[in-house]
Amino acid sequence: MPRKHTDLPQSMALAMSSTKNQPTLAEVRKWPATVSVPQAAAAIGCSKSHLYELIRRGDAPVKTIPLGNRHVVITADLVRLLSGEPNATRGEAAA
């Protein structure tokens, strides 16, 4: 079942926007194992600054890997989010 804005944390739902450069789920599935925060933000439909803030607070809806002074987003987790699957790291039980 596709995830609705109301199913996301309030901070993510507020940041959602229709972006003309937003990739499709099929396109995201073809991405490499990790992607940049700006690229992940475009897929989610939020600004990169908002996603960086969520990462900083530990509230990101996707798994990230810190690499020095930057982070990368794990594409498989991004696909899970966009597919509407539960995120195991947030303690959501499978339906």
Residue 93, in any domain of the structure: no
What stretch of H or E contains 36? strand 34-36
The parent domain of residue 58 ranges over 5-86
Query: What pLDDT sits at residue 28?
Result: 97
Rounded distance, CA 33 to CA 17, Å? 25
Residue 34, in any domain of the structure: yes
Residue 46, in any domain of the structure: yes
DSSP for residue 6: G
Structure tokens at 37: 């925060």
> What is the torsional sign of CA 92, 18, 32, 34?
negative
Read off φ and ψ for residue 6, nearest 5 degrees: -75, -15
Residue 92, in any domain of the structure: no
Q: Could you read off the pLDDT of 23-50 as tens digits, one per residue?
A: 999 999 999 999 999 999 999 999 999 9
Query: What pLDDT sits at residue 31?
Result: 97
Q: CB count, 10 Å around CB of 56?
A: 10
Entry pTM? 0.71
